[in-house]
Chains A and B, each alone.
Chain A
Amino acid sequence: MDQVTQAVNWDEVSAEQLDAMERKIAAKYIKKFPLGIIIWGFANTLIWLALWPLVILDLLPIWAAFPIAVVNVCAAYLPSHDAQHSIIAREGHKLRWLNELLGHVSLIPFAQSFRYLRFTHFEHHAHTNNPDLDPDFDVHAENRKVYFRNALMRKQPINATRKDLYSAALERVGKSTVAVDAIAIRTVYTLVLFVAACSGYAIEAALLWWLPLHIADIYIPYYLSWKPHHPGTDQGRYQDTEAFKSTFGNLVSSGMQYHVVHHLYPRIPLMHTPAAFREMRPILLRRGCDLRGM
């Protein structure tokens, strides 16, 4: 593979040259077709759906299905995240349908709306760490303990602020109607829980969907929003996102150790951000990015 930053005398590189090198590296990875995330998205939803008949028909014990369901629900967001950024195919491309289908299908275990998350996520990118405009700003917390406490408290009916932040973001971009998707999906989710529970499958519904979803709802914002944007005080292209070294590795941290690359070039597929990061690293250091030793 041709390395753009190989054998460069960094003292002689101008800001314009840095910019050109950075864009060249990004373009190389943006061109790559993200087959892995497509397989991941569809397979993850299929496995999660398969758990229901397997458990109900007593082919798989619930204690074995529960951890699988937790992994499925926690892994449901990222394929949709790539689709939100049209990484599989942009508008007008012949595979655009696949991009949109992946976005919708992969979110089924997470019981969320693709369009609702897409437009609010674009606002997060446009206004990262802006206390008034970033819809994910409420995840910020001074430390991990406070993050988990806040995440638990956000789940209480009295503290449903995230819903308001997302509604405000959608209103700003003239996409308030997509909130209907989110309400419809959450209604179906809630009704499925009620019907399953009242039909004698309450434990199954709780351990295959309700509890995994609550775990995912704390885990996903932890690695996607809190950790890479912590402390949430800096704004600007090279300041609002940091690299970090996860104790649990890149897989458990959802590939977010390299989230800085995603914020600079959102169309680089998730699975290629580590390679893009390694190649961009010297440039990012010269840009003043906080890479936290990565």
Chain B
Amino acid sequence: MAKFFKIVFSPIVFGLLFWAPLIAQSMTAAGLQIFALPNLIVGLFIGGGLGLMAHYRGSWIWIK
């Protein structure tokens, strides 16, 4: 059970399951595309990166 909560509240999971689709869908809504990459890949890259930063640095915004 503790492992389940650790996963649900993990910044990396939040980055991948919330930020990634949010970034991808926002780009699609705005008609944006980067280097012909699918928006979801861009979302996963940015969202996953933010999640990694929040996990290891302890901050979503770099400063802490």
Report A's interface with B, CB cutoff 8 A: 152-153, 155-159, 183, 186-187, 190-191, 193-194, 197-198, 200, 202-203, 205-206, 210
**B7 to chain A: closest CB distance in Å?**
10
**B35 to chain A: closest CB distance in Å?**
22
Do the beta carbons of A202 and B25 come within 8 Å of each other?
A: yes
Chain B residues near A194: list those with CB within 8 A. 13, 17-18
B45 within 8 A of A: no
B49 within 8 A of A: no
Do the beta carbons of A157 and B17 come within 8 Å of each other?
A: no
B3 within 8 A of A: no
**B4 to chain A: closest CB distance in Å?**
8
Chain A residues near B20: list those with CB within 8 A. 197
Do the beta carbons of B59 and A193 come within 8 Å of each other?
A: no
Complex alpha-carbon distance, A158 and B59, angstroms: 6
Do the beta carbons of A156 and B18 come within 8 Å of each other?
A: no
Chain A residues near B58: list those with CB within 8 A. 156-159
**B51 to chain A: closest CB distance in Å?**
10
Complex alpha-carbon distance, A187 and B7, angstroms: 10
Chain A residues near B8: list those with CB within 8 A. 187, 190-191
Residue of A nearest to B17 (CB): A194
Complex alpha-carbon distance, A152 and B62, angstroms: 12
B61 within 8 A of A: yes
Chain B 11-52, CB within 8 Å of chain A: the 1/0 string? 101100110111011100100000000000000000000000
Given the contacts A197-B22, A198-B17, A190 and B60 also touching, CB distance less than 8 Å: no
Do the beta carbons of A203 and B25 come within 8 Å of each other?
A: yes
- Known contacts A157-B55, A197-B20; 13 further A-B pairs (Cβ under 8 A): A156-B64, A157-B54, A159-B64, A186-B9, A187-B9, A193-B17, A194-B17, A194-B18, A197-B21, A197-B25, A202-B22, A202-B26, A206-B18
Chain A residues near B59: list those with CB within 8 A. 156-158
Chain B residues near A159: list those with CB within 8 A. 58, 64
